[in-house]
Amino acid sequence: MYQTKSHPMKALRDCAVAVLFGAATLSLPAPVQALSLFDQQKYAAFVADANTGEVLYSRRADMQRFPASITKVMTLYMVFEQLAAGTLKLDDRVVMSRFAAGQRPSKLGLKAGESLTVDQAIRSLATKSANDVSVALAEHIAGSSEEFARRMTLRAKQLGMSNSYFVNPNGLPDSRQVTTARDIFILSQATIRSFPQYYSYYQQQQFVFGNQVLPNHNHLLRTMPGVDGIKTGFTNAAGFTLAASAVRDGRRLIAVVLGGPSRVARDSNVESLLSAGFAVLSARDRGQTVQVADLLAEPGDLNDETLRQLVEQGSGDPPPRRR
C-alpha cells in the first residue's frame, strides 16, 4: 500500500474512495528500500478524459522519454488507416524479410520468406509485441522500415504529437526515438476515436498462432475491471511503459505511465491513477471538488534493481531471470 500522508483533503478523499470501492482503499504499490516512484528520472505520467480531453493528472508529461513498445500503437494506427482506406486488407499476406526476421525479441519467430495475414500480424503486435512482425508490416506498407518510420513521425505531428519522433516501427532502443506521456495520450485518444472497429484488437487476452499461445502483456486486462487496452512496453533505456484505457459508468479515461522501474510498479501506478481519476469524476457528480493528486499519497519506495539485470528487448514483460 502507499504510505499514508496527512492532507487537508483526507476526509474527502476517504469519502470519495469509500463511495466507489466500499471500505477498500486504492490499490497502490508496496514500499521497499529504494527511490520513490516520483523520484525516478525516467518517470512521467498523464491521465485525461478520453472524450473531452480534460487533463486530470500530469507529471513531467511533456518531457521526452523513450517509448519502447508503446511505439506499436503508432505503428498500428498507421495500419488501421490503411485498412479503413481500403488499401490494406485483413487477409493480405505479410512476408517476413531477412531484416524483419532478424529483429531482437520479443518476436513471433517466423523465418525469412514465411508469412502471416495482416489480421494475425495485428494480433501479434497487440499481445506478443512482436518486433519482427512490426518491421514486416512496415515494409509491406511503405517498402522499408525507415520510410514507414518517416511516415509515422509525419502522422504523429499531424495528430498533435509535437514532441514525438520515430525511427523504427517496434520501439527497440534508438536514442533518436522519443515521445512524451501527453503525446501517447493524444495517440491513444485518436486510435479510440478514429478506429473503434479495430480498437478491440487491444482487448484480446491472448493470441493463438500455430502451437503458440501468446498472452497479452497488458496484465491490467485481467486484473482491473473496465480496462480494455492499450499497450505495454519495456527496454532498459525506457523503463516499463504502459498506456491503459478503462471505462466506468459510461466514462472513459486514458492513463499513460512512462519510465516505471518494474512491471508491478508500473501496473500498480496506472491502476491507482485510473481509480483516482474515476473517483474524481464521481465526487464531482456529488458536487465535491477534488483532484487526482488529492487522492494519491506519495508513492512508496520502489526498487529499480531489476533494470540493471534485464536485457533490452522492447517487450511488455521482462525476460525470465537467468539462474
Average pLDDT over residues 185-204: 97
Whether the Cβ atoms of residue 170 and residue 131 lie closer than 8 Å to each other: yes
Cell numbers for 230:
492499450
Is 3 part of a structural domain of the chain? no
Question: What is the total count of domains within the chain?
Answer: 1
pLDDT of residue 41: 84
CA distance linking residue 140 with residue 53, whole number of Å: 34
42 assigned to active site? no
Residue 15 pLDDT more than 50?
no
Average pLDDT over residues 289-308: 57
DSSP string, 287-321: T----HHHH-PPPPB---GGGGTPPP---SSPPPP
Tell me: is residue 231 an annotated ligand-binding position: yes
Give the model confidence (pLDDT) of 140-186 as tens digits.
999 999 999 999 999 999 999 999 999 999 999 999 999 999 999 99
pLDDT of residue 66: 96
Cell numbers for 130:
512482436
Whether the Cβ atoms of residue 230 and residue 191 lie closer than 8 Å to each other: yes
| pTM > 0.95 | no
Tell me which of 94-98, 121-125, 195-199, 282-286 is least confident: 282-286
Packed helices 71-85 and 145-159: angle between N→C axes, nearest 10 degrees: 90
pLDDT of residue 147: 98
Average model confidence (pLDDT) across the chain: 85
pLDDT of residue 312: 39
CA distance linking residue 256 with residue 233, whole number of Å: 11
pLDDT of residue 292: 86
- The catalytic residue among 42, 58, 72, 145 is 72
Cell numbers for 98:
531477412
Is 6 part of a structural domain of the chain? no
Beta bridge partners of 251: 248
The pLDDT confidence band at residue 291, using thresholds 50, 70 and 90, is confident
Those residues with Cβ within 8 angstroms of residue 6's Cβ, 6 or more apart along the chain or in another chain:
none
Is 316 part of a structural domain of the chain? no
69 assigned to active site? yes
- Host domain of residue 57: 41-260
129 assigned to active site? yes
Is 216 part of a structural domain of the chain? yes
The pLDDT confidence band at residue 128, using thresholds 50, 70 and 90, is very high
CA distance linking residue 270 with residue 241, whole number of Å: 10
Is 68 part of a structural domain of the chain? yes
Residue 26 pLDDT more than 80?
no
pLDDT of residue 38: 65
Residue 254 pLDDT more than 80?
yes
Taking residue 93's Cβ as centre, other Cβ atoms within 10 Å add up to: 12
Higher pLDDT, residue 259 or 16: 259
Give the model confidence (pLDDT) of 303-317 as tens digits.
444 334 443 345 555
pLDDT of residue 2: 36
The pLDDT confidence band at residue 299, using thresholds 50, 70 and 90, is very low
Query: Which of 36-45, 126-135, 289-298 is the most confident on average?
Result: 126-135
Whether the Cβ atoms of residue 145 and residue 136 lie closer than 8 Å to each other: no
Tell me which of 50-64, 105-119, 234-248, 278-292 is least confident: 278-292
pLDDT of residue 199: 97
CA angle in degrees (0–180, nearest 5) for 33-267-277: 110
Is 87 part of a structural domain of the chain? yes
- Collapsing DSSP to helix, strand or coil, 248 comes out as strand
Whether the Cβ atoms of residue 108 and residue 136 lie closer than 8 Å to each other: no
- The catalytic residue among 69, 245, 262, 315 is 69
Give the model confidence (pLDDT) of 76-108 as tens digits.
999 999 999 999 999 999 999 999 999 999 999
Q: What CATH number did the domain enclosing 174 receive?
A: 3.40.710.10
Give me the count of residues in the chain: 323
- The catalytic residue among 58, 106, 124, 129 is 129
Average pLDDT over residues 174-199: 98
Is 238 part of a structural domain of the chain? yes
Is 155 part of a structural domain of the chain? yes
Give the model confidence (pLDDT) of 28-80 as tens digits.
444 444 456 666 789 999 999 999 999 999 999 999 999 999 999 999 999 99
CA distance linking residue 41 with residue 34, whole number of Å: 13
